[in-house]
């Protein structure tokens, strides 16, 4: 894509001796044809905003000091300029990429990320202020959101290293980590959350060197945290990563008060239920209506999950707001002996399975 708009030189038609124009066989004066050509050639061409071929995607393994070099931008102003008309004064206005804003509110960095021009994006990241790195477009998306959507983990990491705010929310209330959990972007999630290395701290220069704690309990506008989204996606590795990063397992979603364990029970995913129980999930955690995960398992007639919850200490006689216990729900829907393992019957001090 051309970054400059040039003008072609005018071509003169054939002339007779003495400087007088001869007429064509068609009857059109050559002088009129010259004027039409000059009008077409003198029209101003638009300035292309995309990067040139030399700004193609770079390797994600580049060292941070070379990735932030100013090389691609040294001649950027001279390469991208407003074209001049053939009839206008021969003066070009330099294009300032940091002052550019599209009609959708995208900065030039937004566009570099959208079009996956990684090398140019890294250069802009290294030379931009925090205000520029955190700019939200009309959909409230920051460059970090767009790097997540386009699965560019290298750009995600460089934005984090230079202090981009990972807690800003888009129009759906999603932070970049919400998006990673929603779409299963494991590599990008690791790039977003892992601690800064000593070399990365040096790359931050004058900016704050300390890691800022991320609020993993932030809800999006659907009332869901990152852990809730990872569970709903049934992505075991993402659930593991979010829990390892410090997410609280018993946080309630905002619409009905379900915990991640409630959601796993509703999905019928015994593996996720077991994982959340090992992480400290409360088998008696109540929803806003008082229902525990065991109420949900009994209502769904799921003996495997009900057994796992009971073995983790769930109370089958705990009533909800309608005074129904899990046993009441089991009596009306299923064989109670298949739902609940009554292991408190003992013979000679040993438990007897019923």
Q: Which residue has the higher pLDDT, 7 or 211?
A: 211
pLDDT band, very low/low/confident/very high, at 101 (cuts 50, 70, 90): very high
Q: Express each pLDDT in 114-165 by its tens digit.
A: 999 999 999 999 999 999 999 999 999 999 999 999 999 999 999 999 999 9
pLDDT band, very low/low/confident/very high, at 195 (cuts 50, 70, 90): confident
In a domain, 333, yes or no: yes
In a domain, 219, yes or no: no
What pLDDT score was predicted for residue 353? 46
Instruction: Flag whether pLDDT at 102 surpasses 50.
Output: yes
Q: Express each pLDDT in 160-189 by its tens digit.
A: 999 999 999 999 999 999 999 999 999 999
Instruction: Flag whether pLDDT at 43 surpasses 60.
Output: no
In a domain, 296, yes or no: yes
Q: Provide the domain count of the chain.
A: 1
Instruction: Flag whether pLDDT at 16 surpasses 80.
Output: no
In a domain, 271, yes or no: yes
In a domain, 348, yes or no: yes
Dihedral sign for Cα atoms in the order 155, 161, 167, 168: negative
What pLDDT score was predicted for residue 340? 60
What pLDDT score was predicted for residue 106? 96
What pLDDT score was predicted for residue 197? 85
What pLDDT score was predicted for residue 202? 78
* Distance between first and last Cα of the chain: 75
What pLDDT score was predicted for residue 48? 35
Residue 313 domain boundaries: 243-354
In a domain, 103, yes or no: no
pTM for the predicted model, two decimal places? 0.70
| H helical segments located in the chain | 30-41, 64-67, 71-74, 76-79, 108-114, 118-127, 130-133, 143-149, 153-161, 176-183, 186-193, 198-203, 226-232, 236-244, 260-267, 270-278, 293-299, 303-311, 326-333, 336-339
CB-side exposure of 292: number of CA atoms within 13 Å?
Answer: 25
Contact 155, 121 (CB under 8 A): yes
Q: Express each pLDDT in 64-75 by its tens digit.
A: 444 444 444 544
In a domain, 329, yes or no: yes
CA distance 79 to 92: 11
Q: What CATH number does the domain containing 285 carry?
A: 1.25.40.20
In a domain, 354, yes or no: yes
């Amino acid at each position: 894509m051309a970054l400059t708009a040039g003008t072609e030189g005018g071509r003169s038609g054939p002339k007779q001796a003495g400087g007088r124009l001869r007429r064509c066989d068609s009857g059109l004066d050559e002088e009129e044809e010259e004027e039409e050509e000059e009008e077409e050639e003198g029209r101003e061409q638009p300035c292309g905003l995309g990067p040139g071929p030399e700004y193609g995607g770079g390797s994600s393994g580049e060292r941070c000091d070379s990735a932030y070099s100013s090389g691609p931008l040294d001649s950027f102003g001279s390469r991208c300029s407003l074209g001049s008309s053939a009839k206008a004064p021969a003066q070009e206005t330099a294009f300032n990429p940091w002052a550019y804003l599209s009609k959708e509110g995208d900065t030039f960095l937004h566009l570099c990320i959208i079009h996956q021009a990684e090398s140019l994006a890294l250069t802009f990241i290294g030379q931009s202020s925090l205000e520029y790195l955190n700019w939200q477009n009309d959909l409230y998306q920051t460059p970090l959101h767009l790097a997540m959507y386009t699965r560019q983990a290298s750009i995600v990491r460089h934005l984090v290293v230079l202090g981009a705010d990972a807690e800003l929310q888009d129009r759906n209330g999603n932070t970049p980590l919400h998006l990673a959990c929603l779409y299963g972007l494991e590599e990008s999630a690791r790039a977003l959350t892992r601690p800064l290395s000593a070399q990365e701290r040096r790359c931050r220069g004058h900016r704050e060197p300390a890691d800022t704690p991320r609020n993993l309990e932030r809800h999006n506008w659907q009332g869901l945290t990152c852990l809730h989204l990872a569970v709903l996606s049934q992505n075991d590795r993402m659930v593991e990563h979010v829990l390892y990063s410090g997410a609280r397992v018993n946080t309630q979603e905002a619409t009905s008060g379900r915990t991640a364990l409630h959601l796993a029970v509703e999905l019928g995913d015994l593996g996720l239920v077991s994982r959340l129980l090992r992480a400290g999930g409360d088998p008696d955690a109540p929803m806003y209506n008082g229902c525990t995960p065991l109420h949900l398992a009994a209502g769904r007639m799921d003996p495997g999950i009900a057994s796992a919850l009971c073995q983790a200490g769930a109370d089958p006689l705990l009533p909800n707001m309608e005074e129904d216990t899990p046993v009441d729900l089991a009596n009306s829907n299923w064989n109670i002996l298949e739902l609940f393992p009554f292991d408190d019957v003992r013979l000679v001090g040993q438990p007897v399975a019923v």
